[in-house]
């Protein structure tokens, strides 16, 4: 039940989701037409290499390994890391991502800007690609789409491209073809992600995102981490405590905040550190994901999944059977009140970072907070 981009609240048209990761789109780029994206990515060439080198070894799933050895390996690696809490691990990711983006912004400011090499018809193709992303968001994610209209045109297009990629990825796990999904398929989707970051998009939606990451200092690692959240959904149906759930929230939602910060931009007069902005983005993603979890308890239960902390359920006198039976009791109401309170705490933390964003991006982000107007 990964939320990915929570703002994309409704399911996309299945026609926009590949039935296979070898989909051949009518739009597919020829080798020669890729060069404009490759040129734009020139100044970001170290970005992809860095992203690949930072790939967490414990996140990767090799298609050459058997299912049994894979599970044993994953369990062993998770036990080895048990001494380090999810909060510590996520905070480490926040610091690395903030430092990386800060360095890139500094490097790009010192680069001599040269005109793009534009092939005949390329701009029209990219306009069409972004147009398709816009249509998907406008038709199937109306609230998110209306919010993006408050952004500048270039930021609008970038957010549409990111939103569509996140939702397509989410659909691999929760969409109509989810039963066919294998770890190998996610590996292939990740390889396709690396290709588009290198300026080799596969279809129209990929092309829009490829152009976006060439224009903004968006790093590949949050996209890869989101894919790790998808892998968690293939092997994990319960969460022992909030520490485990917090890491999952980072993977499937906090990462989207990390993707979005470079697009939203930081206010020129902001005195905040990049780390504090990313901490706020993580808090907003976590809050939205927790809201999504509490909203979809019944739907998830029908899929055999429970995203509520098992230890807190037990402390409240509740069990998995109560969830599957859909019982609404005083114990359940008290439990949910506490869960809602936790989500609201994360919303409060996220609010601190909104004022540090570029002025044109503040209102759309603030509007994601359901408690914002009550303050």
| pLDDT at position 83 | 47
CB 280 within 8 A of CB 353: yes
CB 126 within 8 A of CB 207: yes
| pLDDT at position 7 | 32
User: In the block, which residue shows the tokens 């939606």?
Assistant: 205
Instruction: Tell me the backbone φ, ψ of residue 252, rounded to 5 degrees.
Output: -100, -10
CB 60 within 8 A of CB 224: no
CB 252 within 8 A of CB 4: yes
Burial class (CB in 10 A: 0-12, 13-18, 19+), 69: exposed
Q: CA-to-CA distance for 62 and 90, rounded, in angstroms?
A: 24
User: In the block, which residue shows the tokens 């360095």?
Assistant: 103
Q: CA-to-CA distance for 366 and 357, rounded, in angstroms?
A: 10
Q: CA-to-CA distance for 167 and 8, rounded, in angstroms?
A: 7
Q: CA-to-CA distance for 309 and 291, rounded, in angstroms?
A: 14
CB 327 within 8 A of CB 255: no
Q: CA-to-CA distance for 269 and 273, rounded, in angstroms?
A: 12
Spans in the chain with pLDDT lower than 70: 1-83, 108-123, 366-375
| pLDDT at position 123 | 67
CB 157 within 8 A of CB 236: no
Q: Measured at the alpha carbon of residue 175, what is the angle toward residues 367 and 199, in degrees to the nearest 5? A: 75
Q: CA-to-CA distance for 299 and 284, rounded, in angstroms?
A: 23
Length of the chain: 375
| pLDDT at position 56 | 27
| pLDDT at position 297 | 96
CB 353 within 8 A of CB 279: yes
| pLDDT at position 79 | 52
Q: Which residues, listed in sequence order, are joined to residue 357 by a DSSP beta bridge?
A: 266
| pLDDT at position 9 | 29
The three-state secondary structure class of 239 is: strand
| pLDDT at position 368 | 62
Q: Render pLDDT for 101-140 as a digit per residue (tens, 0 to 9).
A: 888 777 766 544 444 444 445 568 899 999 999 999 998 8
């Amino acid at each position: 039940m990964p939320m990915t981009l929570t703002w994309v609240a409704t399911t996309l048209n299945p026609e926009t989701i590949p039935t296979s990761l070898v989909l051949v789109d009518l739009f597919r780029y020829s080798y020669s037409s890729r060069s404009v994206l490759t040129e734009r990515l020139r100044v970001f060439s170290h970005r992809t290499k860095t992203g690949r080198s930072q790939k967490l070894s414990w996140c990767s799933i090799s298609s050459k390994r058997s299912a049994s050895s894979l599970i044993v390996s994953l369990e062993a690696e998770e036990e080895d890391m048990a001494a380090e809490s999810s909060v510590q691990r996520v905070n480490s990711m926040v610091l690395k991502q903030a430092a990386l983006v800060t360095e890139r912004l500094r490097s790009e400011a010192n680069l001599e800007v040269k005109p793009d090499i534009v092939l005949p018809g390329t701009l029209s193709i990219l306009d069409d690609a972004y147009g398709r992303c816009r249509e998907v968001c406008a038709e199937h994610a109306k609230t998110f789409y209306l919010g993006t209209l408050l952004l500048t045109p270039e930021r609008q297009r970038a957010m549409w491209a990111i939103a569509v990629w996140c939702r397509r990825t989410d659909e691999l796990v929760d969409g109509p073809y989810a039963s066919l999904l294998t770890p190998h398929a996610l590996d292939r989707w990740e390889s396709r992600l690396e290709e588009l970051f290198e300026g080799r998009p596969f279809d129209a939606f990929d092309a829009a995102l490829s152009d976006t990451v060439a224009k903004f200092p968006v790093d590949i690692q949050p996209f890869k981490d989101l894919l790790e959240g998808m892998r968690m959904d293939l092997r994990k149906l319960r969460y022992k405590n909030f520490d485990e759930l917090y890491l999952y929230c980072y993977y499937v939602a906090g990462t989207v905040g990390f993707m979005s910060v470079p697009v939203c931009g930081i206010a020129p007069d902001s005195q905040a550190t990049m780390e504090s902005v990313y901490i706020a983005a993580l808090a907003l993603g976590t809050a939205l994901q927790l809201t999504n979890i509490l909203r979809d308890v019944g739907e998830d239960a029908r899929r055999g999944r429970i995203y509520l902390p098992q230890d807190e359920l037990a402390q409240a006198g509740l069990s998995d059977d109560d969830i599957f039976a859909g019982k609404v009791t005083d114990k359940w109401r008290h439990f949910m009140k506490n869960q809602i309170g936790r989500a609201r705490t994360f919303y409060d933390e996220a609010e601190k970072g909104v004022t540090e964003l570029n002025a044109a991006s503040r209102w759309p982000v603030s509007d994601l907070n359901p408690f914002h107007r009550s303050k």
